[in-house]
Amino acid sequence: MIRFLTAGESHGPELTVIVDGMPAGIPIDGVAVDAELLRRQSGYGRGARSTKIERDHAEITSGIAEGRTTGAPIALRIVNRDFANQPDSRPPLTAPRPGHADLAGQRKFGHADLRVVRERASARETAARVAAGALGKQLLAPFGTRVRSFVTAIGEIEVAMGPLGELTAARLDALADAAARNDVRAPDEDAAGRMREAIDAAKASLDTLGGVFVVFATGVPAGLGTYVQWDRRLDGRLAAAVCSIHAVKGVEVGEAFAVARLRGSAAQDPIVRAGAGLARAANRAGGLEGGTTNGEPIVLRAAMKPLSSVRASVDTVDLATGQPSDAPYVRSDICAVSDATVVGEAMVAWVLAEAVVERFGGDRLDAMLAARERLAPDPLP
């Protein structure tokens, strides 16, 4: 079993990540971890904190020796530079912001100052997730598994790309390559330009935008996950991980909603011979059947709501006075869909890393790779 825990507040001194159970012998590249953190900060539509104040760096303080994991817990710390800009004292925040955790958190923990809720519920926490996910990606690399992403919609602007189930691994990689060439992370330059315009228009009208993005994994071994218990089905675990990302409200595995409108005879992925092995004629299932990987690319699509911190007036009630109030505006991004793709990659990579450790054993990388060879399917006659 591997797991990670995060700690820290949005404007506290630092974020902390503890990664437990990582097998020994995995090569770890700290520069690659920082590159993932930079990707999370650099999408179009982000606010001043991401683009001008924070320059995230993950300091690895334990669990690595001579560039490889030791099997001991790994600790990482990400300093919040904005901590130095915070005043020593501030009046309590008592008007909850709709769409945020303010009121729900107050009802749960009873905090009189909603700022206490806001600090931990903030999407700043995703920097810690990205650091953990970067380690997950480095665990997956020796198995030939790669996790990537791209944006398909921001607001009403969509990328024309055809059905997800018809996208081969090569086509998915080509889309991700194209998306990496612009700061919206959309695999079409014309659509990316119109998305920038839509983000600028939302900013001018004191509003925000959401959108849709795809996270996919190629080179995934078959047999990860299981159908034998509900809580171990990999499609459920992946969907939960992506849906746990701030502002993500829905996750689709493969072509789930399109397939729901088809007859059963048209909704499947036919099994075909491919040399001495098997393949699928399509991938409507998104690489998962019965909660288990089938060897095709894993494809997930996520819907992210518009960010709830808007300059425009939104009604709320001040808990201290019981009177109607405008929701307080807190410095925020206009659109974070492009950077949510990076967080999505991190969460998918982590769940797949968990599944790889479960499937192939988890003490040492060399033993895991040997187990993969032993468990490979026999060639067809």
Tokens at 321, concatenated: 């006075």
Round to whole Å and give the CA distance between 1 and 362.
7
- The alpha carbon of 261 is separated from its chain's Cα centroid by a whole number of angstroms, namely 28
Kindly write down the DSSP assignment for every residue of 45-95, as one continuous string: T--HIIIII----EEEEESEETTEE-SSPEEEEEE-GGGGGS-S--PPP-S
Kindly write down the DSSP assignment for every residue of 198-253, as one continuous string: HHHHHHHTT----EEEEEEEESPPTT-B-SSSGGG-HHHHHHHHHHTSTTEEEEEE
Round to whole Å and give the CA distance between 381 and 376.
15
The predicted structure's pLDDT at residue 49: 55
The predicted structure's pLDDT at residue 50: 56
The predicted structure's pLDDT at residue 47: 67
The predicted structure's pLDDT at residue 1: 86
The predicted structure's pLDDT at residue 328: 82
Round to whole Å and give the CA distance between 371 and 226.
17
Sequence spans of domains, the chain: 3-375
Contact, 329 vs 322, CB < 8 A? no
Closest alpha carbon to 215 in 138, 298, 293, 287: 298
43-52 burial, b for 16+ CB within 10 Å, e for fewer? bbbbbebbee
For the chain, 381 residues long, give each residue's pLDDT as a single digit of tens: 899 999 999 989 999 999 999 999 999 999 999 999 999 999 999 765 555 566 899 999 999 999 999 999 999 999 998 776 676 678 899 999 999 999 999 999 999 999 999 999 999 999 999 999 999 999 999 999 999 999 999 999 999 988 999 999 999 999 999 999 999 999 999 999 999 999 999 999 989 999 999 999 999 999 999 999 999 999 999 999 999 999 999 999 999 999 999 999 999 999 999 999 999 999 999 999 999 999 999 999 999 999 988 887 789 999 999 999 988 877 679 999 999 999 999 999 999 999 999 999 989 999 999 999 999 988 998
Tokens at 291, concatenated: 């909660």
Round to whole Å and give the CA distance between 27 and 71.
12
Round to whole Å and give the CA distance between 7 and 164.
36
3-375 fold:
Chorismate synthase, AroC fold (3.60.150)
